[in-house]
């Protein structure tokens, strides 16, 4: 399927090969986001490592989100609008966008402009983050330049933000599509109603094995809420407790036999590497608390009633020992409405995922494909996979390859195949390093093959 590119009133300049500088505020606001006159960003120091001559701009939008923009000296006229992972808890900090630009400096090196928002609030709020991302696009158009194309890039949890934004904002208020294509990397794409089930599984199995989160001397609470609102537990104390029980901060040879037995049980049943236990447990603690206390009215959308756990030395004993919780239907509906992509994306979508991602399971990409199929937009989707066991960044050659393939598709080319992208990557190795690891024949299993389905 080919896609028609709709350009704004600067079409002639764009076709001539240059983006057009913005001259004033846009009069229209996209559907779902009120039109607001935003202040212009100010010149800012660029992080190290960007190409010589890159121009950086920074500011804070009308909702309170900080943002950073980078435009290379030899800009190709295409904007990559970035939705970051996480999410971060607490108030936004401008340093977050600096860190993101450092990580994604390869995008600027490849000739694209880059813009990233911190989002105006911390926590698991997908629609709010989608609005912040769209607000930044408007700021770029108002005060920096009218790009020839805009590619929306979502990383990790930000992939769910980008997937939601791409179906929320399909018209900029002036009859044009705000986004021409979408790139989703290492995405949490199963929707909040399914993506976090395994973290409750981890909580209940960890507690069955360790009995220190909460301690027997502390007030007891349903593990499915993460933490009570009044809890004073912090991440340092949680880490201390996890290490005391599992020894995960030590090399495997330094763990006691009992610690290693417990670690192996978690690894085999929850199907996560040992190095990820502490991080996922923190997510299932502090982020679950954010969801329940701030998003779903004190009700938990997470449950494990009827789940059958397997892979331990004694599955019967394990299943008898773990706590059981029923997800609150109203909380599930509220959380799903905010976090679950609907797949109604009218532009090309290209995904990439390391097959051994320890943070966001690659099987979530199968869930996202099913979502697009259900929405009738599967022909808008191309998926790729790499031989990586990392989450936050795959390789320097991968992202310029994906962006080039996506831009060609957006401009009317045929939908790229995984084999074509794998071959194309080698063309970028001379400039970005010999680190292409695409697996064109890989196909992910359903998420239910890794996470026990909820009855």
User: pLDDT by residue (tens digit) across 396-450?
Assistant: 999 999 999 999 999 999 999 999 999 999 999 999 999 999 999 999 999 999 9
CB 382 within 8 A of CB 424: no
Partners of 353 in the beta sheet?
385
CB 209 within 8 A of CB 266: yes
What pLDDT sits at residue 21? Answer: 52
Distances (CA, A) of 33 to 23, 80, 179: 22, 20, 15
What pLDDT sits at residue 175? Answer: 86
| Range list for CATH 3.40.50.1820 in the chain | 11-191+348-449
Angle at 6 between CA 161 and CA 113, to 5 degrees: 55
CATH fold of 11-191+348-449: Rossmann fold (3.40.50)
Measured between alpha carbons, how far is 66 from 435 in angstroms, rounded to an integer? 33
What pLDDT sits at residue 34? Answer: 65
Residues of the chain with pLDDT under 70: 1-35
CA Rg value for the chain: 22
Phi, psi of 60 (to 5 degrees): -130, 130
- The token duo for 229 is 């609102």
For the chain, the first-to-last Cα distance in angstroms comes to 38
- The token duo for 224 is 């499915």
CB 390 within 8 A of CB 357: yes
CB 5 within 8 A of CB 180: yes
CB 148 within 8 A of CB 80: no
- Among residues 107, 115, 111, 105, which one has the least CA distance to residue 84? 115
- The token duo for 70 is 């980078």
């Amino acid at each position: 399927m080919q896609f028609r590119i709709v350009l704004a009133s600067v079409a002639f300049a764009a076709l001539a090969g240059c983006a057009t500088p913005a001259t004033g505020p846009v009069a229209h606001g996209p559907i779902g986001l009120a039109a607001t006159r935003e202040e212009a960003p100010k010149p800012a120091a660029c992080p190290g490592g960007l190409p010589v001559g890159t121009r950086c701009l920074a500011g804070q939008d009308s909702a309170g989100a900080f943002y950073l923009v980078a435009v290379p000296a030899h800009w190709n006229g295409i904007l990559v609008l970035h939705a970051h992972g996480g999410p971060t808890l607490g108030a936004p900090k401008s340093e977050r966008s600096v860190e993101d630009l450092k990580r994604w400096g390869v995008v600027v090196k490849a000739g694209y402009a880059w813009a990233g928002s911190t989002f105006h609030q911390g926590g698991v709020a997908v629609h709010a983050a989608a609005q912040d991302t769209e607000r930044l696009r408007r700021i770029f158009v108002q005060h920096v330049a009218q790009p020839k194309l805009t590619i929306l890039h979502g990383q990790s949890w930000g992939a769910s933000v980008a997937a939601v934004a791409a179906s929320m904002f399909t018209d900029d208020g002036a009859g044009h599509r705000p986004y021409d294509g979408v790139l989703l990397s290492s995405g949490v794409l199963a929707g909040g109603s399914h993506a976090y089930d395994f973290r409750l599984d981890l909580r209940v199995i960890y507690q069955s094995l360790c009995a220190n989160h909460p301690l027997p001397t502390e007030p007891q609470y349903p593990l499915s809420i993460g933490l009570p609102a009044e809890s004073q537990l912090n991440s340092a104390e949680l880490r201390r407790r996890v290490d005391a029980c599992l020894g995960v901060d030590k090399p495997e040879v330094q763990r006691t036999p009992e610690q290693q037995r417990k670690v192996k049980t978690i690894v085999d049943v929850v199907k996560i590497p040992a190095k990820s236990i502490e991080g996922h447990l923190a997510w299932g603690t502090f982020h679950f608390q954010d969801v329940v206390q701030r998003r779903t009215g004190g009700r938990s959308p997470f449950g494990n009633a009827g789940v059958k756990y397997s892979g331990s030395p004694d599955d019967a004993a394990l299943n008898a020992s773990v706590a059981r919780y029923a997800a609150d239907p109203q909380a599930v509906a509220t959380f799903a409405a905010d976090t679950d992509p609907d797949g109604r994306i009218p532009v090309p979508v290209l995904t990439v995922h390391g097959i051994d991602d320890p943070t966001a399971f690659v099987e979530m990409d199968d869930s996202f494909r099913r979502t697009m199929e259900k929405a009738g937009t599967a022909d808008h989707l191309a998926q790729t996979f790499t031989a990586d066991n990392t989450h936050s960044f795959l390789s320097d050659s991968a992202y310029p390859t994906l962006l080039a393939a996506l831009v060609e598709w957006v401009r009317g080319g045929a939908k790229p195949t995984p084999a074509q992208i794998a071959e194309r990557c080698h063309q970028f190795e001379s400039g970005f390093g010999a680190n292409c690891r695409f697996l064109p024949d890989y196909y992910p299993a359903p998420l239910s093959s890794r996470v026990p389905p909820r009855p």
